[in-house]
Amino acid sequence: MKTLKSLLYIVGLPVILLVLWYLATAFGEKNFFVPTPALLAETFVETWTWDRMTTDVFPSLVRLFWGILGSIVIGMVGGLLIGSVRWLRALLEPTMEFFRAIPPTVLIPVLMLLIGIGDDMKVAVIIAGAVWPILLNTIEGVRAMDEVLSDTTHTYGIKGFNRVRYLILPSAMPQIMAGIRQSLSIALILMVISEMFAASSGLGFTIVQFQRSFAIPEMWSGIVLLGIIGVLLSFVFQLVERVVLRWYHGLREIENAA
């Protein structure tokens, strides 16, 4: 009963939107740019065949994966360093604000010249945008370290790598995860945009092709696929977060109850 209820909550709004969409397109004025749900579903199945999956979707997902992984690694390592070393933070913080303000998309032409038009460039574009939330959140997380906990590890002689592993990393983890969550959607957006330049495959490339050839239902089906990828990504994230931050959610629940 409880699972049924929560399932109803999840599918409720999508069903309502689908019905509205159906009513508007089936009975309203026909519009070339807005297909009916049935037509879109049909097109979706026709367009995203296994062939297309392997030539366009999987390469995109691979780039997305490396982009996210790169952002997490660079963001966390950099954040741990900058967060723990005071002079490094003083040195880097103003400059970071500068680079953070630059939209990664304007870097695409430059990156094309520097590292070519291959996958490297696309991964670099994703990282250039998605690394910031993780980096900044990690820095904040490290700085927000509880003083008593820090003193405790000091008195027990826990330092160096063990201090990072047992104290700094876990204590910054709630904030790191919040940063990763933001980065996921940025990475997806940048994946599509990076594929709109000098690409010969990928989701972004395909959708632009459809737009240019006025294959409107096909274009919409691509956009729907992007949305589905976004939902799956957030679902996977929530699973991981539930495991990694089990202690945190439990702690918060108890604190809120008290």
Partner 1 sequence: MQPDPHSAPAGDHRAAGIPASEPTIPTQEGTEDMTPDQISTEGTVSSQGGVAETPDGLLTVGKTMPDGEAMLAVRNLKKVYHTDGGDIEAVRNLTFDLPQGQLACLVGPSGSGKTTLLKCISGLLAPTAGEVTLHGKKVTGPPKSMAVVFQEYGRSLFPWMRVRDNVELPLKNQGVDKAKRDELVDNALEAVGLAHVPKSYPWQLSGGMQQRVAIARAVAYQPEVLLMDEPFAAVDAQTRADLEDLVRSVWKQLGVSVLFVTHDIDESVYLGERVIILSSSPTVIQQDVLIDLPEERDQLETRSSQRFSELRHHVYEQIQLAKKGFRPEDALAK
Contact residues: partner 1, CB under 8 A: 146-149, 151-152, 154-158, 162, 166-167, 170-171, 173, 247-248, 250-251, 254-255
In the complex, the smallest distance separating the C-beta of residue 251 from partner 1, rounded to whole angstroms, is 5
Report the residue number, 50 or 156, with the smaller CB distance to partner 1: 156
Instruction: Give the tokens for residue 176.
Output: 């790191």
- Residue 173: name the closest of 241, 234, 238, 255 by CA: 241
Report the residue number, 138 or 206, with the smaller CB distance to partner 1: 138
Question: How far is the C-alpha of 188 from the C-alpha of 228, rounded, in Å?
Answer: 11
Report the residue number, 22 or 247, with the smaller CB distance to partner 1: 247
In the complex, the smallest distance separating the C-beta of residue 150 from partner 1, rounded to whole angstroms, is 9
In the complex, the smallest distance separating the C-beta of residue 105 from partner 1, rounded to whole angstroms, is 38
Report the residue number, 28 or 157, with the smaller CB distance to partner 1: 157
In the complex, the smallest distance separating the C-beta of residue 183 from partner 1, rounded to whole angstroms, is 22
> How many degrees, rounded to 5, is the angle at CA 103 between CA 98 and CA 109?
110
Instruction: Give the tokens for residue 180.
Output: 């990763």
Question: How far is the C-alpha of 79 from the C-alpha of 30, rounded, in Å?
Answer: 53
The CA R_g of the chain, rounded to the nearest whole Å, is 23
